[in-house]
Every structure is written in structure tokens, then in C-alpha cells.
């Protein structure tokens, strides 16, 4: 395993971090984690050099922190930096801040969180942070020894990112960044600005929710193979991030042991400057061939839908149909979904949209998905 500095912090983190948002599950139920396999995977990762484990209150519909806590027993807690996140959207009073942190410490079975993030900040939540004096509260928790470093994860515009970045002396930040999202949300400019401030930078979605792991369109495949016929799509995506000096730990939400082993092997070969200028230029061209119509990362923040609609799966099928020109094949898969899980079952209650970190117009997009597949069938 290779290790990288986290900005001005006296911390060296593994190039690959274990993201606990996509743990193995049973019966396609994200709340039903395969605990034995998940614990086995987390411990295997730690045994092979991973020293940063990231979870959050809503992951796996509230079950991720419980499983991570179990995985870090038997001496594993002392081997890692543990990160979790305060669900700002759930906090309405100052009393809620302690309530959630204390519950998280209980679920994780720890007395302290190393990296504590204010989760999924945007303009509205930044205002709430000021209204509830959350930064002052965070400093108090640091003094009490319940958290070591205070940071934030982010989903909004570059302008909002700059405002938040300049609004406090943060220890670190976590941003979505991959070779499709260089000018999306914080983007490359935000990454560089955070690094210039001496902040540690955690990268999430380096493979865009698995989108960059699949077989690419032929046009993109030809571009990638023109530079290196041996690298897999995942290796291209990860090395693109690791080749840059600014990122610290790069999180991957691995769902099975094979993905974990492959990513550990790739991380062992990572280094700043590994990719050449010509390879970066080629990947910029490949990115234009890889963008699907819906920027869903399958994070599942929108779930559970009260009507049972599997929102991420609907968008994934739609993206594959459009980008890979597989309309008829994906339409068949769409109609194989349980009827309640299809886009057509949306009742427009609107519960999902405020939860979406990509700020997608989910209701309108689901209508488009259903219409497309009915026409493609």
C-alpha cells in the first residue's frame, strides 16, 4: 500500500480508503448488509494496508455505522483513521448535535472519531451551520476528545464551495472528483484551492458510482486502449486521481472481495505523476464519450422511496441504454423490475429530491425514463 499526506495534518493515509456506502448486501436490500462478508472485507483491507475507513449516518439506511463498528473490534480500531458524518439535515436544535454524535459513537462502539464531517454541505446547510453554531460546537467536541479533525463533505456549486472553504479554518474536506467531474461541484479548481490552503482532501466517487468501472462505449474504449491496452477502466479512473498531487485518500465503495483485492493491487502501483500529459489529454477526450444523460452516482440517499421505486436502478438502466445504445436490452431489464420499483410508480411526493446530493430533478427524470422504455420496448 502507498500512503499520502493529508494537507497540513500530521497524518499519512493509505492511497485507497474503504468507503462503507456500498457494502455487500442480501436480497438487493441496501439495509440488509451481509455482515459476515462486510466485516471480512473491511478487516482484509486493513490487514493489507488500508488505514482510512469512511461511513456516515444514512449509509445503508442507517446500518453502515453498526457494521463498521463490529468490524473495528478485536484490535482493528487502533489500526485505522475512522471517519463518519453529522447528518445536518436531521439537526433542528443544538441539542440534536450531541444526540447524533453520541448515537454514532455508540453505533461505532468507539469513544472518538478521527475525521468528523459535516455531511453533504450546500448553501442551505451552510446557513444552518451558522444558525446552530455548529462550528463552535465542533471545536468543543475536539476539546472534549470526541473528534480529532473537523471537515465537511460537499455537493453544490463551485461558488458555494468557495464560500464554505473561506468561512472556517477547516482541517479537511471531502469532494466528488473523477475524470468526468472536473468542472462539477467543487471540481478541479476547488480541489486545488483546498490543497493550497493546506487542507487534507478526501476524494469520493472516483469511479462515479461504478459508472467508470463498466465496459465503456467503443469510442471511449478505443481512446483508452490507444495509450495502454492492459489497464482496466477502473485502473484508468483510479490512477487519474492518484496521479495528481492534491488528493489525500481516495475512497472506493467496494461491494465484494474481488473489487477490494483489485483496488488494493492498483493502489500499490499508484504515485503522483504516474500518468503522462498525453494520457491525461486522452482521458479528457474519453470523458466526453462516457457521460450518461443522468448524473446519478447510485448513492441511494433517495432511498427508501415510500412507494418502493428503485430510483438509482431506473437511472442506471436509462444511462446504459442511452450511452451504450442498448435501448431494447435495457427496456427488457426495466420491465423485469418489480412493478413497484419502476419509474412509472412514482407518485411525485417529492421526498427524494431534497436528499439527492446531485440535485437531480428526480420526478421529471423518472417520467422521462418511463416514457423512453415504453417507447423502446
Among 259, 290, 321, where does a domain finish? 290
Contact yes or no for 55/87 (Cβ under 8 A): no
DSSP secondary structure letter of residue 319: H
**3-class DSSP state for residue 62?**
helix
On whether both 97 and 233 belong to a single domain, the answer is: yes
Residue 127 has pLDDT above 90, yes or no: yes
In a domain, 280, yes or no: yes
CA 275 to chain centre: 23
On whether both 92 and 209 belong to a single domain, the answer is: yes
In a domain, 221, yes or no: yes
pLDDT at 292: 83
In a domain, 279, yes or no: yes
Residue 315 structural domain = 311-376
pLDDT at 324: 86
The pTM is what? 0.90
Q: How deeply is 351 buried, as exposed, middle or buried, from its count of CB atoms within 10 A (0-12, 13-18, 19+)? A: middle
Contact yes or no for 260/251 (Cβ under 8 A): no
Q: How far is Cα 72 from Cα 84, in angstroms, rounded to an integer?
A: 14
Q: Considering only CA atoms, which of 301, 305, 376, 302 is closest in space to residue 340?
A: 305
Residue 52 has pLDDT above 90, yes or no: yes
CA distances 339 to 26, 314, 362, 375, Å, are 20, 12, 18, 17
CA 124 to chain centre: 21
Sign of CA dihedral 43, 45, 50, 55: negative
As a whole number, mean pLDDT of residues 221-245 equals 96
C-alpha cell at 186: 467543487
Strand-strand pairing, 81-86 and 52-54: parallel
On whether both 61 and 207 belong to a single domain, the answer is: yes
On whether both 236 and 372 belong to a single domain, the answer is: no
Phi, psi dihedrals of residue 368, rounded to the nearest 5° = -65, -40
> How many domains is the chain partitioned into structurally?
2
On whether both 218 and 338 belong to a single domain, the answer is: no
CA atoms within 13 A on the CB side of 237: 30
CA 205 to chain centre: 4
pLDDT at 215: 86
Confidence of residue 332 (pLDDT cuts 50, 70, 90): very high
Region for residue 228 given its phi and psi (left: phi exceeds 0; alpha: psi -120 to 50; beta: otherwise): beta
Query: What tens digit of pLDDT does each residue of 275-324 get?
Result: 999 999 999 999 999 888 999 998 989 999 999 999 999 999 999 999 88
On whether both 272 and 332 belong to a single domain, the answer is: no
| One-character DSSP codes across 85-97 | EE-GGG--SHHHH
On whether both 35 and 106 belong to a single domain, the answer is: yes
H helix count then E strand count, the chain: 14, 12
On whether both 282 and 315 belong to a single domain, the answer is: no
CA atoms within 13 A on the CB side of 43: 15
pLDDT at 291: 84
Q: Considering only CA atoms, which of 36, 289, 270, 93 is closest in space to residue 180?
A: 289
Q: How far is Cα 354 from Cα 276, in angstroms, rounded to an integer?
A: 40
Contact yes or no for 247/14 (Cβ under 8 A): no
Residue 231 has pLDDT above 90, yes or no: yes
On whether both 263 and 122 belong to a single domain, the answer is: yes
pLDDT at 227: 93
Looking up cell 436480497, which residue turns up? 27
In a domain, 299, yes or no: no
CATH number for the domain harbouring residue 81: 3.20.20.100
On whether both 278 and 318 belong to a single domain, the answer is: no
On whether both 21 and 88 belong to a single domain, the answer is: yes
On whether both 197 and 336 belong to a single domain, the answer is: no
In a domain, 302, yes or no: no
Residue 4 has pLDDT above 90, yes or no: yes
As a whole number, mean pLDDT of residues 337-361 equals 95
Confidence of residue 17 (pLDDT cuts 50, 70, 90): very high
Q: How far is Cα 118 from Cα 86, in angstroms, rounded to an integer?
A: 5
Amino acid at each position: 500500500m502507498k500512503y499520502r499526506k493529508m494537507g497540513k495534518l500530521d497524518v499519512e493515509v493509505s492511497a485507497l480508503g474503504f468507503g462503507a456506502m456500498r457494502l455487500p448486501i442480501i436480497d438487493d436490500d441496501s439495509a440488509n448488509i451481509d455482515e459476515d462478508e462486510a466485516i471480512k472485507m473491511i478487516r482484509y483491507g486493513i490487514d493489507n494496508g488500508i488505514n482510512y475507513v469512511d461511513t456516515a449516518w444514512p449509509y445503508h439506511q442507517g446500518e453502515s455505522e453498526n457494521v463498521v463498528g463490529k468490524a473495528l473490534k478485536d484490535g482493528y480500531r487502533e489500526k485505522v483513521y475512522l471517519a463518519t458524518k453529522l447528518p445536518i439535515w436531521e439537526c433542528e436544535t443544538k441539542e440534536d448535535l450531541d444526540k447524533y454524535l453520541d448515537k454514532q459513537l455508540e453505533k461505532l462502539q468507539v469513544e472518538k472519531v478521527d475525521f468528523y464531517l459535516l455531511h453533504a454541505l450546500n448553501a442551505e446547510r451552510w446557513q444552518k451551520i451558522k444558525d446552530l453554531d455548529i462550528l463552535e460546537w465542533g471545536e468543543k467536541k475536539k476539546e472534549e476528545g470526541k473528534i480529532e479533525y473537523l471537515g465537511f463533505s460537499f455537493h453544490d456549486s463551485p461558488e458555494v464551495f468557495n464560500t464554505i472553504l473561506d468561512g472556517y479554518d477547516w482541517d479537511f474536506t471531502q469532494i466528488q472528483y473523477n475524470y468526468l467531474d472536473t468542472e462539477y461541484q467543487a471540481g478541479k479548481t476547488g480541489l486545488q484551492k483546498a490543497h493550497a490552503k493546506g487542507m487534507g482532501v478526501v476524494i469520493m466517487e472516483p469511479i462515479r458510482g461504478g459508472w467508470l468501472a463498466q465496459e465503456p462505449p467503443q469510442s471511449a474504449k478505443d481512446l483508452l486502449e490507444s495509450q495502454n491496452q492492459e489497464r482496466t477502466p477502473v485502473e484508468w479512473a483510479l490512477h487519474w486521481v492518484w496521479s495528481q498531487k492534491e488528493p489525500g485518500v481516495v475512497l472506493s465503495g467496494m461491494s465484494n472481495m474481488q473489487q477490494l483485492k483489485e483496488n488494493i493491487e492498483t493502489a500499490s502501483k499508484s504515485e503522483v505523476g504516474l500518468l503522462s500529459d498525453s494520457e491525461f489529454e486522452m482521458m479528457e477526450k474519453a470523458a466526453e464519450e462516457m457521460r450518461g444523460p443522468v448524473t446519478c452516482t447510485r448513492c441511494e440517499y433517495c432511498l427508501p422511496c415510500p412507494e418502493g421505486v428503485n430510483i438509482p436502478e431506473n437511472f442506471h438502466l436509462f444511462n446504459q441504454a442511452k450511452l451504450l445504445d442498448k435501448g431494447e436490452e435495457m427496456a427488457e431489464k426495466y420491465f423485469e423490475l418489480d412493478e413497484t420499483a419502476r419509474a412509472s410508480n412514482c407518485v411525485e411526493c417529492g421526498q427524494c429530491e431534497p436528499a439527492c446530493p446531485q440535485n437531480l430533478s428526480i420526478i421529471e427524470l423518472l417520467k422521462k425514463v418511463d416514457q423512453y422504455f415504453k417507447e423502446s420496448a
